[in-house]
Amino acid sequence: MVANAGKQNAYSIPDGYFDSLAESVLSCIKLTEIKYSNPFSIPDDYFDSLADSVINRIRLEEVKLLNPYSVPEGYFESLSDSIISHIRLEEVKHLNPYSVPEGYFESLSDSIISRIRLEEVKLLNPYSVPEGYFASLPKTILNNIRLSETKHSATYSVPAGYFENFAGSVLDKINAATNEVYHELSEVAPLLNRIDKSDIFSVPEGYFQRLSTTASKPEPKTSKVISLGGRIRKWTTYAAAACVLFIIATTTYLYVNVHGRIFDEQLPVEQRISQLDENEIMNYLKDNDGITSGDVISTSTEQDPAIQHLLKNASDEDIQNYLDEYSDPDESADNGI
Partner 1 sequence: MQLEDKELLQQFRNPETKERAFTAIIKKYQEKLYWHIRRMVVDHDDTNDVLQNMFIKVWNGLENFREDSQLYTWLYRIATNESLTFLEQQKKRSAVSLSDVETGLSNKIIADKNFDANRLEWKLQLAIQQLPEKQRAVFNLRYYDEMPYEEMSRVLDTSEGALKASYHHAAKKIEEYIKNH
Rounded Cα distance, 170 and 178, in Å: 13
In the set 195, 258, 266, 305, which binds partner 1 (CB under 8 A)? 195
Nearest-approach distance from CB 193 to partner 1, in angstroms: 10
Quick one: DSSP state of residue 217?
S
CB 54 within 8 A of CB 46: no
Rounded Cα distance, 325 and 330, in Å: 14
In the set 79, 142, 147, 192, which binds partner 1 (CB under 8 A)? 192
Quickly count: other Cβ atoms within 10 Å of residue 50's Cβ.
11
* Footprint (CB under 8 A) of partner 1, residues 25-84: none
Region from 14-22, 59-67, 126-134, 194-202 binding partner 1, contact rule CB under 8 A: 194-202
Q: Radius of gyration over alpha carbons of the chain, in Å?
A: 76
* Footprint (CB under 8 A) of partner 1, residues 199-218: 199-204, 207-208, 211-212, 214-218
Nearer to partner 1, 330 or 334 (CB): 334
332 binds partner 1 (CB under 8 A): yes
Region from 7-15, 36-44, 105-113, 223-231 binding partner 1, contact rule CB under 8 A: 223-231
Quickly count: other Cβ atoms within 10 Å of residue 281's Cβ.
19
334 binds partner 1 (CB under 8 A): yes
Rounded Cα distance, 302 and 3, in Å: 207
* Footprint (CB under 8 A) of partner 1, residues 279-308: 292, 294-295, 298-300
152 binds partner 1 (CB under 8 A): no
Nearest-approach distance from CB 224 to partner 1, in angstroms: 7
Nearer to partner 1, 185 or 273 (CB): 185
225 binds partner 1 (CB under 8 A): yes
In the set 87, 158, 191, 262, which binds partner 1 (CB under 8 A)? 191
Burial of 297 (0-12, 13-18, 19+ CB in 10 A): buried
198 binds partner 1 (CB under 8 A): yes
Write the CB contacts of 304 (distance below 8 Å, at least 6 apart in sequence).
232, 235, 236, 239, 297
Total chain residues near partner 1 (CB under 8 A): 46
Nearer to partner 1, 24 or 179 (CB): 179
168 binds partner 1 (CB under 8 A): no
Phi, psi dihedral angles at 98 (to 5 degrees):
-90, 145
Region from 39-47, 49-57, 63-71, 193-201 binding partner 1, contact rule CB under 8 A: 193-201
Nearer to partner 1, 85 or 179 (CB): 179
Rounded Cα distance, 76 and 20, in Å: 65
Rounded Cα distance, 53 and 38, in Å: 24
- Cα dihedral: 215, 217, 220, 224 (round 10): -10
Rounded Cα distance, 75 and 72, in Å: 5
Name the nearest CA neighbour of 256 among 246, 268, 244, 240: 268
Please report, as ranges, the residues that interact with partner 1 according to CB under 8 A: 179-181, 185, 188-192, 194-204, 207-208, 211-212, 214-219, 221, 224-225, 229, 292, 294-295, 298-300, 332-337
